[in-house]
Amino acid sequence: MKPFRSLPYALIIMVLMAAGPVLSFEFSEIEKQIVEYKLDNGLTIIILPRHDAPVVSCVTHVDAGCVDDPMGSMGMAHMFEHMAFKGTREIGTTDIKKELKWIDEEDRIFELILAERAKGELADSALLASLDKQLAAAADSSDQYVITNEFGQIVESEGGIGMNAGTSYDNTVYYINYPSNRLELWMAMESDRFANPVLRQLYKEKQVIAEERRFRVTSSPTGKLFLNEFLGLAFNSHPYGKCMVGEMEEIQNYNRPVMRRQLSSHYVPRNMAIAIVGDVNPDEVIRLAKKYFGRLEDHPKPRPVMITEEAPFGVRTSTIYENSQPMFIMGYRIPPAVDPDYTALSALASYLGSGRTSALYKNLVKDKKSAVEASAFTGFPGEKFETLFGVFCIPSNDFTNAENESMILSEIEKVRTEPIPDSELEKIKAKAKSGLINALASNSGMAAQLADYYFTKGDWRELFKEIDRVNALTADDLKKAAEKYLDPDKRVVAYLEKPVEDKSN
């Protein structure tokens, strides 16, 4: 949970300004109602009964994201997110034995394709063309047994809503809301897609992923700037520096054997947590979890990513040229979310660039009209490892990237040398508290945050300490954090500029 995210808070801000002790009391009462249980195979279950309505929100959080992808297969976590909705050995097929026969044939042919591609310039193009046709034919043969979107159809027919998933650098999360009397159905279906994944239609789905990459990165100047230039500049060694959807060559080389090995090592009970919030009985939840999720094989929790980045030094820049709106993004290395300084850094980002009342917006957008967008944020691209404090700016037509960068550096220098006004600090705290309460108001929001905190901060109980951490902030805390991390001589900047016109002709 990022309590300093810009979220709606008008309805409760008056209460927040005066009700710190009340909030702490209410949070402590909620915390007492939560039940945590660990199955024999290591899977953690977090349960919060809320009997306001006969509904339940279920979140499956896998502590594996794009940073955990095998070398040469960046984006594979995102690929599995797609595969998870294709069904299992029981769901999505008319004849699993016949389908698997053709799936094995797909894999055999693709292994030959990979071997030929590995020859580089010596590869036989005619043979590759022939193998591609054979692969397409095998895929068509396996498709004849596929029941398209049966997984989603079952969910919808049983009253499930909001089925979705998201893959980040740090994790992969699956969401769903059901009538509470359909909890057992969710347990059966959700556990099945981790116990019996088929990776159905993999080679066809790769084309969907490739098109997604073209849309998000190749054809998107902003995507190129953020996901290629900026992150590549900020992280030379760590996977945070890789494009999370993978390079096109990596996508083309995705295959089932590698994906199955990744699933067996990272999508395991000890690397997962399920959070269930709603009209449920904890004892019944645990009974059902034992019955369904208990069948998942116990494996050791995978080793965490151990790659570390060298200490930041100097000002590193990169520029791409596109016939597009100029913009730039600037970043400073900061610690992960578990670090005590992270709350102060998030508050700094809120003060500098979160919303229309922030310092950068008022100075650049409203007063000087030098920019149409100026924002600041923490936690990009992730929060589990050393990450970035970012500042993003889109200049207005009469101003340049360089001019806005200079103004932003001046604003940052102010927070490094002068404490922010107490009145501004109180506004930041109010916004943070309201954002937190908004995020926890719904069953789905609460479930997502409980699971996220379990892995990102090591304990879901840390979620209920956020208000205390925010309340404890002082203006001096923010100044010290700015001095320590927002060093003007230790930053990276990626620019998007329009091509320079050649006036020599």
Is the domain of 66 the same as that of 105? Answer: yes
Give the pLDDT confidence of 154-177 residue by residue, as tens digits.
999 999 999 999 999 999 999 999
In a domain, 370, yes or no: yes
> 338: closest CA among 462, 187, 186, 464?
462
Q: Is the peptide bond before 300 cis (omega within 30 degrees of 0)?
A: no
Q: Cα–Cα distance between 61 and 444 in angstroms, integer?
A: 13
- Cα distances (Å, whole numbers) of residue 308 to 171, 239, 417, 481, 490: 19, 10, 30, 22, 17
> Among 242, 263, 295, where does a domain finish?
295
Is the domain of 265 the same as that of 325? Answer: no
In a domain, 244, yes or no: yes
More confident residue, 104 or 503: 104
Strands 35-38 and 55-62 turn out to be: unpaired
Helices (H), 418-463: 422-441, 443-456
Residue 468, token pair as written in the block: 């205390």
Q: Cα–Cα distance between 39 and 59 in angstroms, integer?
A: 17
Residue 369: is its pLDDT beyond 90? yes
In a domain, 380, yes or no: yes
Is the domain of 350 the same as that of 257? Answer: no
Whether the CA torsion 242, 243, 244, 246 is positive or negative: it is negative
Q: In 10 A of CB 132, how many CB atoms?
A: 14
Residues 6+ apart with CB under 8 A from 221: 320, 322, 324, 325, 496
Q: Cα–Cα distance between 155 and 91 in angstroms, integer?
A: 12
Residue 241, token pair as written in the block: 């520096």
Residue 394: is its pLDDT beyond 60? yes
Give the pLDDT confidence of 308-324 residue by residue, as tens digits.
888 888 999 999 999 99
Burial class (CB in 10 A: 0-12, 13-18, 19+), 163: middle
Is the domain of 319 the same as that of 291? Answer: no
Is the domain of 227 the same as that of 250? Answer: yes
Residue 260, token pair as written in the block: 């199955």
Is the domain of 202 the same as that of 235? Answer: yes
CB 201 within 8 A of CB 86: yes
DSSP state of 130: H
> 102: closest CA among 45, 145, 155, 133?
145
Q: Cα–Cα distance between 444 and 155 in angstroms, integer?
A: 16
pTM, rounded to two decimals: 0.91
pLDDT at 323: 93
Residue 54, token pair as written in the block: 């006969």
pLDDT level of residue 21 (50, 70, 90 thresholds): very low
Strands 55-62 and 172-179 turn out to be: antiparallel
Q: In what order do the strands lie in the sheet with 55-62?
A: 35-38, 44-49, 272-278, 55-62, 172-179, 161-167
Is the domain of 371 the same as that of 312? Answer: yes
pLDDT at 504: 55
In a domain, 221, yes or no: yes
Give the pLDDT confidence of 460-469 residue by residue, as tens digits.
999 999 888 9
Strands 44-49 and 272-278 turn out to be: parallel
Residues 6+ apart with CB under 8 A from 236: 309, 310
Per the document, the length of the chain is: 505
Q: Compute the mean pLDDT over every residue in the chain, rounded to the nearest whole number.
A: 92
In a domain, 174, yes or no: yes
CB 315 within 8 A of CB 330: no
In a domain, 36, yes or no: no
- Taking the CA of residue 284 as centre, how many other CA atoms within 13 Å lie in the half-sphere pointing to its CB? 12
Q: In 10 A of CB 265, how many CB atoms?
A: 17
Domain holding 200: CATH number? 3.30.830.10
Residue 185: is its pLDDT beyond 50? yes
In a domain, 8, yes or no: no
Q: Is the peptide bond before 488 cis (omega within 30 degrees of 0)?
A: no
By residue range, what is the domain housing residue 407?
308-497
For the chain, helix, strand, coil in percent to 5 are 50, 15, 30
In a domain, 278, yes or no: yes
CA torsion angle 85 89 92 95 (round to 10): 160
Question: Which of 20-24, 55-59, 433-437 shows the lowest mean pLDDT across its residues?
Answer: 20-24
Angle between helices 401-417 and 475-485 (to 10 degrees): 130
Is the domain of 359 the same as that of 238? Answer: no
Is the domain of 403 the same as that of 372? Answer: yes
Angle between helices 256-266 and 76-83 (to 10 degrees): 90
pLDDT level of residue 351 (50, 70, 90 thresholds): very high
Helices (H), 224-300: 231-234, 248-253, 256-266, 282-292
Q: Cα–Cα distance between 70 and 75 in angstroms, integer?
A: 9
Residues 6+ apart with CB under 8 A from 202: 79, 83, 106, 254, 255, 256, 259
Give the pLDDT confidence of 223-262 residue by residue, as tens digits.
999 999 999 999 999 999 998 999 999 999 999 999 999 9
CA torsion angle 377 460 284 158 (round to 10): 10
Is the domain of 193 the same as that of 323? Answer: no
356 three-class SS: coil
In 29-90, beta strands by DSSP E? 35-38, 44-49, 55-62
> Among 295, 329, 352, where does a domain finish?
295
Residue 285, token pair as written in the block: 């939840």
Number of domains the chain contains: 2
Q: In 10 A of CB 468, how many CB atoms?
A: 13
pLDDT at 28: 80
End-to-end Cα separation, the chain, in angstroms: 56
Tokens 């945070």 sit on residue: 240
Q: How far out from the chain centre does Cα 311 lie?
A: 25
Is the domain of 410 the same as that of 481? Answer: yes
Residue 361: is its pLDDT beyond 50? yes
Is the domain of 147 the same as that of 217? Answer: yes
pLDDT at 179: 98
> Among 295, 327, 352, where does a domain finish?
295
